[in-house]
A = this chain, B = another copy of it.
Amino acid sequence: MTATNAGRAVRPRGPSGGSESVLDKAVLEFNARGYDATSMEDLSRAVGITKSSFYHHFAGKEALLRAALERALDGLFSALEEPPGAEAPAGPSERLRRIVTRQVRVLMDELPYVTLLLRVRGNTDTERWALERRREYDGQIAALVQAAADAGEIREGVDPVLAARLLSGLVNSVAEWYRPGRRGMSGLPEEVARAAVEGILPTSH
């Protein structure tokens, strides 16, 4: 929750709900056209306000991108934390399983924002900052995989850096095909976490 509030604090104040709704629409536009190809004109048209109203909410296109990527990153980093009052995980391996579950849930809840984050290639300062934060996240996951290996919880010979990359790849690939409102998807976070621990093609015993 702290991370999310921190994210909110940097957004400019506008009329109640105004900046949120502007951001939602801008993100859809960035995803449809690509950030580089989206002009302030495109954004004003998509949001349905004038360019000057737009600048009331955000200093410009890159400020919008920054606010959107912050929202995605705040969600991602919040997945690292246990919710208040939750029982402590039994060890690093159980903690990782819960993180993967929460990370998929954030992706499902914040799909357009996470999609935007995943398409970032590092063309602007803001994009490079977002890539840096993603690397930081992957580093924290790799450290947890190492801790799980040190605790003897996961099979010997697993490379923590590769495991962190594959975990991130497995989770993020959900954004390629998941669409909100699909039926029978409520168990998806747990299914992805199970696949991470037991295999996508687990051998029957």
Q: Which residues of A contact B (CB under 8 A)?
A: 34, 36-37, 93, 96-97, 145, 148, 152-156, 158-159, 162-163, 165-170, 172-174, 176-177, 188, 191-192, 195-205
Contacts and interface: CB of A to CB of B under 8 A. Distances in A.
* Copies of this chain present: 2
23 contacts: A34-B36, A93-B203, A96-B201, A148-B201, A153-B203, A155-B202, A155-B205, A162-B188, A162-B191, A165-B173, A165-B176, A166-B192, A166-B195, A166-B200, A167-B200, A168-B173, A169-B170, A169-B173, A195-B199, A196-B200, A197-B200, A197-B203, A198-B203
A196 B204 contact: no
A29 to B, nearest CB: 15
Nearest to A32: B121
